[in-house]
């Protein structure tokens, strides 16, 4: 029996409730660990093992936007969209072997903090912090909310969208506010397991339904809707065009240089630039690797995440293609009027490919499991973004506003920041609902804003001569050029299929793919940064120990480049610590509030001495690894990349 007003059986509801009970239990238990300190809240005490790190890297990346976006792109254009996942495998190795050792040796919490240590000053750090927060709110959070809304709308037509989204946001905020990164990583781990189990079940059922891989390839190219986009002739006759027809290169990863969707130069070079920004300098991702107990666990975590990145092709993209085969008139619709009737969008309905497949072919109970998977993906992404955003705001912005802020104040501000992000996200829902071409929209925004940041990080890590003036003006030049392209391109309304002859856009917009533009933008920023750095004074070596890849093992004491500025600042007063007597005398409601904010009783006698703090810091910034585990990890990385190259070649 279906639940009234929905497409779900009562068994589906029970599965969803069971999921929430299990994940909330994990969140509460893990919230009790690594509390009461900035290190514990934001970096999980740097005590995480490689398995939860690898799972969290994967889960933080694979949100509900991937299930909807990748499956939708698979339905629209075949397997080509999976190159974004395969490319990430190689970039994850760059993260583990090049960037994480530098960040760990530098002893930083956030990526903007690394640039502050590397270049000095505050303007680059503040600029990147604000840019990161804007990107989180208007691309990552909005994309996940949009894709989650699509799934919920398909499954529960009578459910108020705002109520459903607010519930999901509230749960995500509860995990983040209560336990910091420890709770986020462990809930990510549980959600990854759920996503994989549900995804495998749907994949197997989909392939059985379509008759196997060979049948998939054959029938995909024949998956035309009954009514394609038609042009009316002189006698009101309809002449059918290629609109609604799957592309001829649907089973190829490597496509022509002038391909409008995935040109090969853009995939090999432009996508790599955006990926380095995302995987190697984005706070959401790097924060997980920095939580590792040592550098070997960080590398192993990136390897595990790399192996998991093979799965989206099979678990998401192929099922999206199968959905088009099974439902060509809805998922594959081409006529704008028909599409609007199906999914309230005139741009096409491929975004409903995955939800439609789940709701139409899965039995009761399993439908609920897959809805739980979508909720897992959504909550996983949101918790990651909330935690990282609060870290950036607290450590990079608030500490500049309140130079004497105590650790207690910083932890409270981190929680309040999450609440503000929740409010902004809810207010942004009406805008998100109007977004079409979700996956390519996100990637295009990334290609307009990320290459300058990628260029500066690459130069900072590999070229010691890069200085603050060069980096700052390189970022400014890249921002101006990127915003011009962004505003120029989106000032034109998208044309329906079949009306390409009416395209009045200039060639710089029409013929320069966003991935190709990313290459150009990266080059502009590198040239500007190089010229200005060479023409201005270099940074003395005493400020750069362990801040570049070539100098990461240096044991000399590093002088903070902003040490003189810090010396002139008012000294931070000793933070008040609750003793057993103080804490026990507080009313229950105040104890509860302080527990939520991570403030718990401490004994002043147990406060570490200066020598003990230095030993802890040395341990946490060590990048030493045994020769045995180093060889094991290197061999595994080579095997992983070899398998990735094989897949590239197999579907080239």
Q: Is 60 in contact with 433 (CB distance < 8 Å)?
A: no
Per-residue pLDDT, 569 = 47
pLDDT category of residue 203 using cuts at 50, 70 and 90: very high
Distance CA 376, CA 168 (A): 10
Rounded Cα distance, 83 and 644, in Å: 10
Domain map (residue ranges) of the chain = 10-232+277-438+575-650
DSSP state of 387: H
Q: Is residue 240 very low, low, confident or very high in pLDDT (cuts 50, 70, 90)?
A: very low
Eight-class DSSP state of 63: -
Q: What pLDDT band is residue 608 in, cutting at 50, 70 and 90?
A: low
Is residue 316 a contact partner of residue 71, using CB atoms and an 8 Å limit? yes
Q: What is the pLDDT of residue 11?
A: 76
The yes-or-no verdict on residue 20 having pLDDT over 90 is no
Pick the CATH number of 10-232+277-438+575-650 from 3.10.129.10, 1.10.1040.10, 1.20.1730.10, 3.30.499.10: 1.20.1730.10
Highest mean pLDDT among 154-168, 442-456, 570-584: 442-456
Q: Are the CB atoms for 327 and 75 separated by under 8 Å?
A: no
Pairing between β-strand 238-240 and β-strand 230-232 as defined by DSSP bridges:
antiparallel
**Mean pLDDT calculated for residue range 70-99:** 93
Is the confidence at residue 273, as pLDDT, over 80? yes
Q: Is residue 33 scored above 60 in pLDDT?
A: no
Distances (CA, A) of 601 to 324, 408, 577: 58, 12, 7
CA angle 636, 638, 641 (to 5 degrees): 110
Cβ pair 640, 93 in contact under 8 A: yes
d(CA 85, CA 97): 19
Most confident of 127-136, 149-158, 206-215, 340-349: 206-215
- Predicted confidence band of residue 292 (pLDDT cuts 50, 70, 90): confident
- Position 572 scores a pLDDT of 44
Residue predicted with more confidence, 137 or 353: 353
pLDDT of residue 164: 66
- pLDDT (0 to 100) of residue 637: 95
pLDDT recorded at residue 402:
80
Whether the CA torsion 612, 614, 617, 623 is positive or negative: it is negative
- Pick from 486, 476, 435: nearest CA to 455: 476
Instruction: Give the residue with greater pLDDT, 209 vs 45.
Output: 209
- Per-residue pLDDT, 216: 94
CA–CA distances in Å: residue 583 to residues 328, 415, 579, 590, 591: 65, 21, 6, 9, 8
- In this prediction, residue 406 has a pLDDT band, given cuts at 50, 70 and 90, of confident
d(CA 335, CA 386): 39
Q: Is residue 17 scored above 70 in pLDDT? A: yes
Mean pLDDT of the chain: 78
Torsion of CA 579, 581, 583, 589, to 10 degrees: -170
Under the banding of pLDDT at 50, 70 and 90, the label for residue 113 is: confident
pTM over 0.75: yes
At residue 338 the predicted structure's pLDDT band, cuts being 50, 70 and 90, is confident
Residue of 301, 270, 319 lying closest to 92 (CA atoms): 301
With CA atoms as reference, report the closest residue to 269 among 90, 135, 102.
90
Q: Is the pLDDT of residue 154 over 60?
A: yes
* Owner of token pair 């009737």: 341
pLDDT for position 540: 92
Helix (H) or strand (E) run with residue 474 in it? helix 468-489
Q: What are phi and psi of 9, to 5 degrees?
A: -85, 160
| pLDDT tier, 177 (very low <50, low <70, confident <90, very high otherwise) | low
- Band (pLDDT 50/70/90 cuts) for residue 436 is low
Best-predicted range by mean pLDDT (89-93, 169-173, 542-546) = 89-93
Distances (CA, A) of 124 to 403, 452, 453, 460, 520: 18, 12, 10, 12, 22
Q: Region 14-18: what's the mean pLDDT?
A: 78
Distance CA(90)–CA(92), nearest Å, equals 5
d(CA 354, CA 553): 48
């Amino acid at each position: 029996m279906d639940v009234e007003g929905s497409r779900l059986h009562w068994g589906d509801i029970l599965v969803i409730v069971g999921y929430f009970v299990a994940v909330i239990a994990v969140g509460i238990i893990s919230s009790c660990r690594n509390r009461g300190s900035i290190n514990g809240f934001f970096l999980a005490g740097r005590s995480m093992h490689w398995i939860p790190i690898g799972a969290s890297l994967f889960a933080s990346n694979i949100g509900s936007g991937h299930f909807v976006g990748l499956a939708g792109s698979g339905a629209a254009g075949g397997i080509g969209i999976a190159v974004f996942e395969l490319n990430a495998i190689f970039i994850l190795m760059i993260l583990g072997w090049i960037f994480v050792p530098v960040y760990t040796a530098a002893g930083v919490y956030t990526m903007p903090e690394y640039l502050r240590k590397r270049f000095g000053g505050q303007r680059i750090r503040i600029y990147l912090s604000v840019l990161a927060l804007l990107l989180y709110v208007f691309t990552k959070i909005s994309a996940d909310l949009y894709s989650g809304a699509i799934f919920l709308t398909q499954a529960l037509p009578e459910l108020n969208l705002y109520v459903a989204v607010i519930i999901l946001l509230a749960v995500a905020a509860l995990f983040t506010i209560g336990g910091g990164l420890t709770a986020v990583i462990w809930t990510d781990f549980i959600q990854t397991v759920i996503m994989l189990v549900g995804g495998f079940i749907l994949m197997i059922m989909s392939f059985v339904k379509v008759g196997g891989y060979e049948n998939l390839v054959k029938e995909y190219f024949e998956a035309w809707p009954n009514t394609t986009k038609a042009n009316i002739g002189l006698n009101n006759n309809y002449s059918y065009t290629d609109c609604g027809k799957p592309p001829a290169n649907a089973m190829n990863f490597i496509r022509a240089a002038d391909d409008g969707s995935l040109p090969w130069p853009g995939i090999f070079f432009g996508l790599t630039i955006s990926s380095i920004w995302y995987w190697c300098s984005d706070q959401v991702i790097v924060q997980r690797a920095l939580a590792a107990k040592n550098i070997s666990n960080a590398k192993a975590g990136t390897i595990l995440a790399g192996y998991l990145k093979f799965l989206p092709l099979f678990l998401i993209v192929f099922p999206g293609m199968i959905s088009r085969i099974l439902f060509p008139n809805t998922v594959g619709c081409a006529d704008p009027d028909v599409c609007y009737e199906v999914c309230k969008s005139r741009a096409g309905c491929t975004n409903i490919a995955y939800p439609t497949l789940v709701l139409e072919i899965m039995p009761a109970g399993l439908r609920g499991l897959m809805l739980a998977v979508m909720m897992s993906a959504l909550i996983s992404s949101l918790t990651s973004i909330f935690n990282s955003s609060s870290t950036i705001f607290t450590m990079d912005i608030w500490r500049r506003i309140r130079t004497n802020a105590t650790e207690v104040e910083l932890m409270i501000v981190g929680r309040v920041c999450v609440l503000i992000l929740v409010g902004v996200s809810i207010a942004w829902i009406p805008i998100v609902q109007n977004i079409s071409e979700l996956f390519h929209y996100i990637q295009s925004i990334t290609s307009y804003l990320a290459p300058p940041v990628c260029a500066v990080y690459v130069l900072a890590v590999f070229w010691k001569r890069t200085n603050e003036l060069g980096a700052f003006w390189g970022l400014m030049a890249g921002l101006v050029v990127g915003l011009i392209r962004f505003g120029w391109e989106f000032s034109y309304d998208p044309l329906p299929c079949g009306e390409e002859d009416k395209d009045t856009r200039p060639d710089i917009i029409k013929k320069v793919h966003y991935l190709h533009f990313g290459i150009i933008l990266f080059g502009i920023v590198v040239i500007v940064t190089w010229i200005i750095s060479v023409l201005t004074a270099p940074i003395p070596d005493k400020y750069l120990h362990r801040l570049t890849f070539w100098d990461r093992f240096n044991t000399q004491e590093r002088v903070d480049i902003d040490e003189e500025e810090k010396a002139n600042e008012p000294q931070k007063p000793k933070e008040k610590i609750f003793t057993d007597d103080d804490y026990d005398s507080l009313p229950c409601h105040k104890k509860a509030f302080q527990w939520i904010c991570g403030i718990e009783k401490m004994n002043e006698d147990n406060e570490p001495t200066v020598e003990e703090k230095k030993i802890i810091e040395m341990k946490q910034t060590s990048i030493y690894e045994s020769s045995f585990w180093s060889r094991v990890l290197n061999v595994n990385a080579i095997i992983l990349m070899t398998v990735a190259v094989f897949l590239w070649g197999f579907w080239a």
